[in-house]
Structure 1
Amino acid sequence: MAIPTNLPRGLAALVLAGASAAAIATPLSLPGSLPNMAGLGIGSTTEFAGGKDRMVGVVPGLRYVTPGGRLLEWYGPYAQFNFGGLTGFQWGPAVGLRLGRNDVDDPVVARLHEIDTTVEAGGFIGYEYVNAGPVPWRLRGGVNVMTNAGIVYGGARVNATGSLWVPLHPRLYAGAGLGATWVSGSFNRTYFGVTQADAAASGLPAYSPGGGLEQFTGWLALIWQLDKHWYGGAMVYGQRLAGAAADSPIVTQRGTRNQITYGVGIAYAWR
């Protein structure tokens, strides 16, 4: 599964978790790799979705196969538990921490309404295929649905992702992924909207977006095995805001619809 991404200041933490996921968790999904891994990722991304100012963050990552063969994955603010197989169909619950928007560097955006940090919950379903031939590549795709149940935003967020990993060398793996996200109107109004009070305080025009396609994502990553237990990785992650989110004056006047994140990670693997 690729990490879901469409975030305010949580953009930083969650997308960095994507770098962590690639640098920490994915080797375990490749043939011949170890079953459990934990580590840290560090990287740079924008302060909030649609912004230009950047920040640096550090996030943890964990991939653990239980004695009963169930898979727990935890990347920064996102975690899921797989009741399906380690390959084939996968499904289960998911939970996420969506960080708020406050204390941003942009002096105009800083005058907009603050957004509280909140917890999301939902579930995922996906499929993972391993080609066990001379070049053992792995293909994974899935969809997850998350909601905040109206605590900060209403409605739901639906994220579809796909990823491919192939070995370039017995100790070096390359990965690529694509994704797209649909969000409710309430989500867009919370994170990309400008209320009348916001407009009066900031000078931006009032904006009340509806829901729909919010973003496209894509990433490239490399994982290398340093020794028996240690792995390192690097990732570049791109987002392109779409639809009503891209048309927000927060994006068009103060930021950019193209968001780039990059990071590195290190992890310890054990049986």
Structure 2
Amino acid sequence: MRSRLLFQIAASGSVLFSMPAIAQGATEQSVLDGDNLTVGVGAVYVPSYRGSDDYVLSPVPLVRGRFKGVDINPRVAGVALDFIPDNKESGIGFSLGPVATVSFNRARRVRDEVVRAAGKLDPAIEVGVTAGVTKYRVLHDYDSLTVSADVKWDVNGAYKGMIWSPAVSYMTPLSPALVTTVVVSARHVDDDFARYYYSVTPGQSIASGLPVYGAKGGWDSVNTSVLMAYDLSGDLRDGGFSVFGVANYSRMLNDGKRTPFTSIRGDANQWVVGAGIAYTF
């Protein structure tokens, strides 16, 4: 959705990053009103797996834009499309389209030697649908409130299940150059996902020394994020270079918190911080 910053941190929950349409409802011409593209790169400091208390630095590419009425919204290691153009005059926008991501949770860069001994997991390729509704001009002419959800299924034979992630985000500019987005989200996983990532099988127990554990699906995390973008020319509407930053807190819940991978070897409190630079034209 083009009113939200979109920055989904795969290792610790759903957060979203895209350059917002600051000129929504205004008479000034904006590069974001027509076809446009934003490309960028950043770095995030994230847990080495979901539930870890070890952190790693990871690069994050950014590509978003709009072409022929289709919005291209980034996900970390993925992309989402929105096929429904917004009606600016109505004050309400809708989004609907496909979403696809790749999850490398416990597939690489696991720093904890005990968790690593339990065995490397396969990457998951997640494909599904994203949908949402946005209310423009909530408190003033340039802000927006969005309610949305991603629903995805693993098609690569890793966890072979389904996850869905509802989110509420509020975007407001603080100046022509500076925009802030606050996001509150959660994630629900099914039994297949929970068994794959949170259970400890007898074989994994022998290899790692962790106790055997059988996990079930449910709400596995809640997240809150603050994202900011600053245009280096002083006006987000004219495109060009901008810098962005993100801070995210995620709390593991239920079997995501009780699994030995979190409760013994990790931490239910998960933090993500990151920053980067982008160019819009």
User: Where does structure 2 lack aligned partners over 5 or more consecutive residues?
Assistant: 88-92
Indicate the residue corresponding to 1:145 in structure 2: 151
Q: What is the rounded CA distance, in whole Å, between the counterparts of 2:210 and 2:70 in structure 1?
A: 49
In structure 1, the partner of 2:50 is 49
C-alpha distance in 1 between matches for 2:140 and 2:167? 26
Matches within 5 A, 1:67-86: 68-86=68-86
Instruction: Tell me the residue number matched to 1:268.
Output: 279
1:216 to 219, 222, 232: 222
Shift in Å, 1:29: 6.3
- Tell me which amino acid in the other structure corresponds to 1:252: S
CA–CA distance in structure 1, aligned partners of residues 96 and 80 of structure 2: 9
1:113: how far off?
2.5
User: Which position in structure 2 is the counterpart of 1:154?
Assistant: 160
Per the normalisation by structure 2, the TM-score is 0.85
8 Å Cα contact 2:125/2:155 also seen in 1: no
What is the alpha-carbon distance in structure 2 between the residues aligned to residue 4 and residue 225 of structure 1? Answer: 21
Give the aligned length: 258
Aligned to 1:249: 260
2:100 maps to 95
Confirm or deny: 8 A CA contact 2:7 2:74 kept in the other structure: no
CA contact (8 A) 2:252 2:268 kept: yes
Q: Residue type matched to 1:201 in 2?
A: A
Partner of 2:90: none
- Residue 19 of structure 2 aligns to a residue in which SS? helix
Aligned to 2:63: 62
Aligned equivalents of 2:174, 2:8: Cα separation in 1: 26
Task: Classify the secondary structure of the residue corresponding to 1:27.
Answer: coil
CA shift in 2, pair 1:133/1:176, >3 Å: closer
| C-alpha spacing 1:224/1:186, structure 2 compared with 1 (3 Å) | same
Cα 1:30/1:219, change in 2 over 3 Å? farther
Report what 1:231 is aligned to: 242
Question: Cα 1:90–1:201, aligned 2, differ >3 Å: closer, same or farther?
Answer: same
- 2: CA distance, partners of 1:29 / 1:208: 48
User: Residues 55, 182 of structure 1: CA spacing in aligned structure 2 closer, same or farther, 3 A cutoff?
Assistant: same
2:50 is aligned with 1:39: no
How many angstroms does 1:134 deviate by? 4.7
Q: CA deviation at 1:75?
A: 3.1
Q: Give 1:118 deviation, angstroms.
A: 2.6
Q: Which runs of 5+ in 1 are unaligned?
A: none
Kindly state the Cα deviation for residue 201 of structure 1 after the two structures are TM-superposed.
Answer: 1.3
Q: Secondary structure at the match of 1:186?
A: helix
Q: Once structures 1 and 2 are overlaid, which stretch shifts more, 203-212 or 148-157? A: 148-157
Q: CA deviation at 1:126?
A: 0.4
Q: Any idea what the Cα deviations from partners look like across 1:75-103, whole Å, max 9, x if unmatched?
A: 33121111112461110111111114245
2:185 aligned with 1:184: no
Contact 2:192–2:217 at 8 Å: present in 1 too?
yes
Matched residue SS, 2:113 = coil
Q: Which residue matches 1:128?
A: 134
Q: Structure 1 residues 154 and 178, CA, compared in 2 at 3 Å: closer, same or farther?
A: same
Q: Secondary structure at the match of 1:108?
A: helix
TM-score by length of 1: 0.88
- Contact in 2 for aligned 1:60/1:75 (Cα 8 Å): no
The alpha carbon displacement at 1:261 in A equals: 0.3
- Tell me the CA shift for residue 159 of structure 1: 0.4
Q: Which residue is equivalent to 1:27? A: 20
